[in-house]
Amino acid sequence: MKTSPAAPAAHVDRLLADVIQLLGRPLPPEYERALRTVPRHLFLPDRLWLRDGEGGYRACDRSADPDGWLTAAYTDTPLVTQFTDGLPSSSASMPSMVLRTLLLAGIGDAGREARPPRVLELGTGTGFNAALLCTILGDDAVSTVELDPVLAARGEGNLEAAGFAPALSCGDAAAGWPSGAPYERVVATFSVDRVPSAWVEQTVPGGRIVTPWTSAWCRYGTLALTAGRDGTAHGRFHAFASFMPMRRPCQDTAGPAAAPAQHKGVTSLSPWLVAGGDLDAEFHLGLAVPGASFAWDITGEHAPTRLHIADDEGPSWAAVDYDGRCADRFAVIQAGPRLLWDEITAGYTRWETLGRPRIGQYRLSVNTAGDHTLRVETGRGSTGITIPEKLSRPSGPSGSSGSRWSSWSGRPGL
């Protein structure tokens, strides 16, 4: 059995209890062994950023607060480990979400297979997830890819210090890792808004692909696919996890566009219905209105409360204003070639017509051309959903944090 520097027993016991409580069931023995074997604190930098309860982060330094830092290391919570351009760009995910993703991928079935499945991890990050995989499956079964050279070197150092040696490569995870293919399991540690074709191509028939999901509107959900013999993949979404989006190599971006003409109107659809925290509605809108993101403005500059909507790749935007008095009629401004509020209204109406489906009712298929086809299972059977073309095209360069309007508040109440 591989040996590594021990984790503090009391801290691990508390972490295990928190993980089991959140998952609602005991962990398989190999998972509990992995969580006890892999010392999480060895995979964290000396400075962490923790949620401050007000929408921001506070720094936690090991040198200044060693007890607080160690407690954070063994708390079932995400820990930001890197900022880029003032925004979070890498994090250590919640251990419970890491383990739940591995369970969904069928990693827990390893002991019942003839040999350990070959696993491709996409996004090495701190190396903690790769270490768990190595503990469960063995080093030879695990390959991991990291885009950021700094993170790749740091992750490799963390793994070596803890006594693990998976095959680690530095490259664009969207391309998978052909030299180690094919794989029985492909597991991403970041979220995507489409499944790269390379992932399907590098997965054996019957193999599993598991990745957190994102859209500009809603970063939530996990997709689990099974690869077919014909080069396709089919599966469904699961209602858990919110991960940072996939980062891509830097690309040139277009310069600023001319200010678009504005159109004013009135709506009876409450902005809180589409952006107030109903994850089922927001998940649907993320699929139905690709590229549209939102942020709440409660500065009072334009209205007591404004929902601002933007096209992440174009000049279009919209604003829905609550005047502080009337909660059934809201002023709307739309600008640009996309009438974003009209798209949001149509998407929300469609979601209601379908019976307000939950995230787990959505199924996704990917064909050999990389096209994505959605169906939603309702009480009336299965219904196809048209995916706008924007969702089917390759993702452009993505950041690693939330809305570009992050200085504003999130989801205020009436």
Interval 29-67: pLDDT, tens: 999 999 999 999 999 999 999 988 887 899 999 999 999
90 is catalytic: yes
Q: What is the pLDDT of residue 227?
A: 98
CA distances from 279 to 218, 219, 267, 274 (A): 7, 9, 22, 9
Residue 70, pLDDT > 50, answer: yes
Q: Which of 402, 372, 104, 332 is nearest to 238 (CA)?
A: 104
Interval 98-130: pLDDT, tens: 999 999 999 966 455 568 999 999 999 999 999
DSSP summary character for residue 175? G
Q: What is the pLDDT of residue 316?
A: 95
Share of the chain above pLDDT 70, in %: 86
Q: What is the pLDDT of residue 55?
A: 79
Q: What is the pLDDT of residue 403?
A: 25
Angstrom distance (rounded) from CA 242 to CA 76: 14
**8 Å CB contact between 185 and 108:** no
Q: What is the pLDDT of residue 91?
A: 81
Residue 134, burial from CB neighbour count under 10 angstroms (0-12, 13-18, 19+) = buried
CA distances from 27 to 30, 99, 104 (A): 8, 9, 13
Q: Which residues contact 342 (CB under 8 A, 6 or more apart)?
A: 334
Q: What is the pLDDT of residue 43?
A: 95
Interval 250-295: pLDDT, tens: 444 444 455 677 899 999 999 999 999 999 999 999 999 999 999 9
Q: Which residues contact 279 (CB under 8 A, 6 or more apart)?
A: 218, 220, 239, 359
- Beta-strand runs (E) in 244-329: 262-267, 292-297, 305-311, 317-322
Angstrom distance (rounded) from CA 129 to CA 76: 14
Residue 412, pLDDT > 80, answer: no
Which pTM does this prediction carry?
Answer: 0.87
Residue 85, pLDDT > 70, answer: yes
Task: Indicate the pLDDT class of residue 4, thresholds 50, 70 and 90.
Answer: low
Q: What is the pLDDT of residue 232?
A: 97
Q: What is the pLDDT of residue 115?
A: 82
Q: Which of 276, 273, 268, 412 is nearest to 331 (CA)?
A: 268
Catalytic residue among 4, 63, 89, 90: 90
Interval 128-137: pLDDT, tens: 999 999 999 9
Question: 2 or 353, which is more confident?
Answer: 353
Interval 179-206: pLDDT, tens: 999 999 999 999 999 999 999 999 999 9
Angstrom distance (rounded) from CA 55 to CA 43: 25
- Mean pLDDT for the stretch of residues 226-244: 92
Task: Indicate the pLDDT class of residue 313, thresholds 50, 70 and 90.
Answer: confident
Q: Which of 112-121, 209-218, 222-231, 269-278 has the lowest mean pLDDT?
A: 112-121
Q: What is the pLDDT of residue 395?
A: 38
Q: Which of 21, 68, 23, 24 is nearest to 49 (CA)?
A: 68
Domains of the chain: 9-189 (3.40.50.150), 260-414 (no CATH)
Q: What is the pLDDT of residue 81?
A: 87
- Mean pLDDT for the stretch of residues 210-218: 95
Q: Which of 257, 246, 372 is nearest to 311 (CA)?
A: 257
Q: What is the pLDDT of residue 109?
A: 66
Angstrom distance (rounded) from CA 35 to CA 131: 10
Instruction: Share the mean pLDDT of the chain.
Output: 87
Task: Indicate the pLDDT class of residue 147, thresholds 50, 70 and 90.
Answer: very high
Interval 389-410: pLDDT, tens: 554 443 333 322 222 222 233 4
